[in-house]
Amino acid sequence: MPVYHYKGYKNDGGSATGIIDAESQKVARVKLRKVGVFPTDMVEQGIASNADIPSASSSAIGRSPALSTSDVAMMTRQLATLLVAGLPLVEAIGVMVDQTEKKPVKSLMADIREGIRGGKSYSAVLEGYPREFSQIYVHMVRAGEASGALDQILFRLAEFLEKQLALKHKVTNAILYPALMLIVGVSVLFFLMTFVVPKITAVFTSLKQALPWPTVVLMSISHFLADYWIVILGGVALIVWSVRRAMNTEAGKLKSDRWLLKIPLIGEVARMVAISRLTSTLATMLASGVQLLDAMDVAKRVMNNRVLEQAVEGARQNIREGETIAEPLKRSGEFPALVTHMIAVGERSGEMEEMLRRIGQIYDGEVDRVITRFTSLLEPIMILVMGVLVFFIVVAILLPIFEMGQMVR
């Protein structure tokens, strides 16, 4: 069915633009008038509007930009709500196409509907959009289709995506403020040392008198930064480039992830975030009917740490050979005793999904606690360091002035 890009106005006089599918332009205009939109221009998307509206039917890889996690979560929750209301899948997606105002979302949903109408299952269509829908998403949708509980699975998926997004924002916001303080502080110090200090210390140099050691140290650092700042920036850029190139290799990623886990406090947060993601994902997938080995294969990838991924993969291989889940995870030495103990209890009691969900909740709380402690300690430490550096600069400048004042007397 053709998809049309339209422009027009609403009943209240406001402008309206969007995408609609219909058998012909005439039918499209009738459908728009029913919802209070009066089109003034309408062009078939495949002919003239590809420049404005990306077409997902051509290739998901060519789609730009990819939808955000919040967009996917919103789409998932809306679709689940419509399915619970009793609408068939194709009709529910059609309602979303008509109501959604975001062009990328509208285009994606329109193409998904056409794929389903073409005879594919919903999960098979989603596989064509790997940037928007992860393997976790596709596996859970496939399980929902097989069990006939797609609406409930979509609700779980929406909650899962929203939880992961909240965790990501929590960690990002905790890092953002200290990073901003560091950038501003370093920039101010660099400006003082390369532009302000040289002009002041030039007066001391012209006097040709012995200077206090703080002033000598300050002048040496200032001259070095002023004379070699290009070399310093080039060296920093070279180091960053070298590190990024090394991290593009599998061995480099493994080393960097192992090093990250050993950093005090930061490694603790990284490990807890990874465990929270793993257990929450496993709990959601198992509750949705995904087999354990398949769930572990997919869930390990949300940890974003090669060391922990290898530990989970090793446990997965041992489980395939008949072992329990908890024992190989414990032998890896990468998971705290609390995690392996609770998993073992879940295996014995038959409540694995609930136990994994509780582990995720526990570590979410731990992440909150550690991040709060981290930020509360880091901010005063950064302020203290900046204060000490500024105090040193002020003292180094004032000491020669005091000495000159004594000589005049």
pLDDT digits (tens, 9 = 90+) for 334-359: 899 999 999 999 888 888 888 998 99
Tens of pLDDT, residue by residue over 10-21, are 666 566 777 777
Task: Find the mean pLDDT for residues 141-149.
Answer: 80
**pTM for this entry:** 0.64
DSSP one-letter string for 338-384? HHHHHHHHHHHHT-HHHHHHHHHHHHHHHHHHHHHHHHHHHHHHHHH
The torsion angle over the Cα atoms of residues 75, 81, 85 and 88, rounded to 10 degrees, is: 30
User: How does residue 1 score in pLDDT terms, banded at 50, 70 and 90?
Assistant: low
**Average pLDDT of the chain?**
81
Decide: residue 360, CB within 10 A, 0-12 exposed, 13-18 middle, 19+ buried. Answer: buried
Percent of the chain with pLDDT strictly greater than 70: 90
Tens of pLDDT, residue by residue over 76-120, are 898 989 888 888 888 888 888 888 888 888 888 888 888 888 888
DSSP one-letter string for 32-70? HHHTTEEEEEEEEHHHH-TTTS--TTT-STT-SSPPPHH
Distance, CA of 6 to CA of 22 (rounded, Å): 12
Q: Which residues pair with 4 in a beta bridge?
A: 20, 44
Phi/psi for 383 (5° steps) reads -65, -40
**What pLDDT does 59 receive?**
39
Distance, CA of 28 to CA of 361 (rounded, Å): 48
Distance, CA of 340 to CA of 250 (rounded, Å): 28
Tens of pLDDT, residue by residue over 263-277, are 888 888 889 888 988
Task: Find the mean pLDDT for residues 296-324.
Answer: 86
Question: Cis peptide leading into 380, omega within 30 of 0?
Answer: no
Quick one: tokens of 333?
Answer: 């030495």
